[in-house]
């Protein structure tokens, strides 16, 4: 009998009808002889709804309270799914993160898993009962409920698969049937990849492809958990996220990613002397603002501009923090630009083949799109462009690298 983790995302459990269908799927796998451990997300839109209420009741909701609130979304779908399985005449039991011993650090809203005991899960499996675990949550060593970052049910699934030494971790989705060469809602002729390396998937997820949470991919790579992304209701083969092989290296670029969730801050007229960057980014880090790309212009008459990007949700805080520094460091001003987007190309083939950057810049220039910032790593190149041209840029790059159907 194989032990398998099934994870159903928010769209797959979006209403009661879908929950009944998922219950049938779980029962079918159980009848075929698998030990299924189920992990669920909150019903589609539920986490956003809870977040919105929190922000209506308080302008800066306390993070501990927020985590308790948000964790309830997954508890609703887990208990409903367990009831649906029971009403079909099978044994199921729902669990919260705490009940299955998911112990995390105390960083509310983005907690990291420290250890998993999973005793009650093992007991349920031994007794032939199907466990349904509320994803996205754990318990801190202080005993407070924590959540694992947006999209965090994915890491619950991967971490449980690893702790239980499951044969597979299947991430079921309703709106896409696998991992595509680009977001299919932006690029209509995007193609499903039959497999992708952990490293490429991690870059794609970190660069903003919503299909898998980046921490879950990091975890899977570290512990060698194979992830299969499959359609919940269709029959497709899906995408296997696994170790890199030679075939993957043959392809220069595997995916194009669009991230419209970035903003750019520019500190204008900064004195060009040692210690200034350390001062700015030290303060920014202290405030917990996440910095992505940084550029510093060539200085003229001892003054320079420093620009950097942050997630839109951190932009106002970043602006406030840097504004406070302006007079202290002798800079002129700080500007915030929220109309930017980051487009990136990813491929392990870039390690052994050259020319990807030149091809990327040429494709953007052909569309008359100005590049505002550039950053590269071994297997990715990102460009910041005006958000007006974001979709055009993604489609042009998808064509240039021959990724279409
Ligand atoms: P779930 O509800 O199952 O957690 P998500 O909404 O988190 O599903 O993830 C699927 C979404 O990710 C899709 O709506 C799709 O538009 C988006 N997406 C972005 N980039 C990609 C990609 N490269 N491949 C597949 N889907 C992508
Ligand atoms: N419900 C959470 C979110 O919307 C976690 C998840 O869906 O994986 O981010
Ligand atoms: Mg998701």
Report whether 138 contacts 104 (CB < 8 A). yes
- Give me the number of domains the chain comprises: 2
Q: How confident is the model at residue 294 (pLDDT cuts 50, 70, 90)?
A: very high
Q: Which ligand is nearest to the CA of 74?
A: 2
Taking only the tens place, the pLDDT of each residue in 24-63 is: 999 999 999 999 999 999 999 999 999 999 999 998 899 9
Q: How close is the Cα of 42 to the center of ligand 2, in Å?
A: 6
Q: Which residues pair with 228 in a beta bridge?
A: 170, 240
By alpha-carbon position, which residue is closest to atom 1 of ligand 1? 9
SS3 324: helix
User: Model-level pTM?
Assistant: 0.94
Q: How close is the Cα of 21 to the center of ligand 3, in Å?
A: 19
Give the number of residues written for the chain: 405
Q: Examine the fold and report which residue of 143, 175, 207 is the final residue of a domain before the chain moves on.
A: 175
Q: Is the dihedral of CA 223, 211, 40, 173 positive or negative?
A: negative
Q: Is 208 in the pocket of ligand 2 (CB under 6 A)?
A: no
164 and 275 belong to one structural domain: no
CATH number for 354 = 3.30.2130.10
Query: Which are the contacts of 58, defined by CB distance < 8 A and separation ≥ 6?
Result: none
Taking only the tens place, the pLDDT of each residue in 107-155 is: 999 999 999 999 999 999 999 999 999 999 999 999 999 999 999 999 9
Q: Examine the fold and report which residue of 154, 175, 196 is the final residue of a domain before the chain moves on.
A: 175
Q: Which domain holds residue 93?
A: 3-175
Best probe residue, ligand 1, of 12, 41, 153, 173 (max atoms within 8 Å of C-beta): 173
Q: Name the DSSP letter for residue 190.
A: -
Q: Is 47 in the pocket of ligand 1 (CB under 6 A)?
A: no
Minimum-distance ligand 1 atom for the alpha carbon of 210: 12
Minimum-distance ligand 2 atom for the alpha carbon of 153: 8
Q: Is 8 in the pocket of ligand 1 (CB under 6 A)?
A: no
Q: Which ligand is nearest to the CA of 70?
A: 2
Query: Which are the contacts of 328, defined by CB distance < 8 A and separation ≥ 6?
Result: 279
Residue 336 falls inside a structural domain: yes
Residue 211 falls inside a structural domain: no
Specify the pLDDT at position 248. Answer: 87
Residue 99 falls inside a structural domain: yes
Q: Examine the fold and report which residue of 175, 208, 242 is the final residue of a domain before the chain moves on.
A: 175
Long-range contacts from 294-299, C-beta under 8 angstroms, 24+ separation: 295/373, 299/272
Residue 236 falls inside a structural domain: no
Estimate to the nearest angstrom the gap between the alpha carbon of 328 and the chain centroid. Answer: 37
Q: Is the dihedral of CA 93, 99, 102, 106 positive or negative?
A: positive
By alpha-carbon position, which residue is closest to atom 21 of ligand 1? 183
Residue 215 falls inside a structural domain: no
Phi/psi of residue 205, each to 5°? Answer: -65, -40
Residue 230 falls inside a structural domain: no
261 and 134 belong to one structural domain: no
């Amino acid at each position: 009998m194989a032990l398998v983790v099934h994870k159903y995302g928010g769209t797959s459990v979006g209403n009661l009808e879908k929950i009944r269908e998922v219950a049938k799927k779980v029962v079918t796998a159980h009848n075929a002889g698998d030990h299924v451990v189920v992990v669920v997300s909150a019903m589609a839109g539920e986490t956003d709804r809870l977040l919105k209420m929190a922000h209506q009741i308080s302008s800066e909701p306390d993070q501990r309270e927020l985590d308790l609130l948000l964790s309830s979304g997954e508890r609703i779908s887990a208990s409903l799914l367990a009831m649906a399985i029971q009403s079909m005449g099978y044994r199921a039991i729902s669990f919260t993160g705490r009940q299955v011993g998911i112990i995390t650090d105390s960083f509310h809203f983005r907690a990291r898993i420290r250890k998993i005991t999973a005793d009650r899960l093992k007991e349920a499996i031994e007794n032939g009962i199907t466990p349904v675990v509320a994803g996205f949550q754990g318990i801190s060593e202080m005993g407070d409920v924590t959540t694992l970052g947006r999209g965090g049910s994915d890491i619950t699934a991967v971490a449980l698969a690893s702790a239980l030494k499951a044969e597979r971790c299947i991430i079921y989705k309703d709106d896409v049937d696998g991992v595509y060469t680009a977001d299919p809602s932006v690029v209509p002729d995007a193609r499903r990849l039959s497999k992708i390396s952990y490293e490429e998937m991690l870059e794609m997820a970190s660069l903003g492809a919503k299909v898998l949470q980046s921490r879950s991919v990091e975890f899977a790579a570290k512990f060698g958990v194979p992830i299969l992304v499959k359609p919940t209701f269709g029959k497709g083969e899906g995408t296997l996220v696994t170790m890199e092989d030679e075939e993957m290296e043959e392809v220069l670029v595997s995916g194009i990613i669009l991230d419209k969730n970035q903003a750019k801050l520019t500190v204008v007229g900064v004195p060009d002397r040692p210690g200034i960057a350390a001062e700015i980014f030290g303060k920014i880090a202290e405030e917990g603002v996440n910095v992505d790309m940084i550029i510093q212009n060539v200085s003229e008459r001892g003054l320079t501009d420093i620009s950097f990007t942050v997630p839109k949700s951190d932009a106002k805080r970043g602006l406030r923090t840097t504004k406070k520094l302006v007079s202290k460091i002798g800079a002129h001003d700080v500007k915030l630009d929220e109309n930017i987007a980051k487009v990136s190309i990813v491929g392990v083939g870039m390690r052994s083949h050259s020319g990807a950057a030149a091809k990327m810049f040429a494709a953007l220039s052909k569309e008359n799109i100005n590049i505002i910032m550039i950053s590269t790593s071994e297997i990715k190149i990102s460009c910041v462009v005006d958000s007006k041209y974001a979709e055009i840029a993604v489609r042009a790059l998808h064509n240039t690298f021959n990724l279409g159907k």
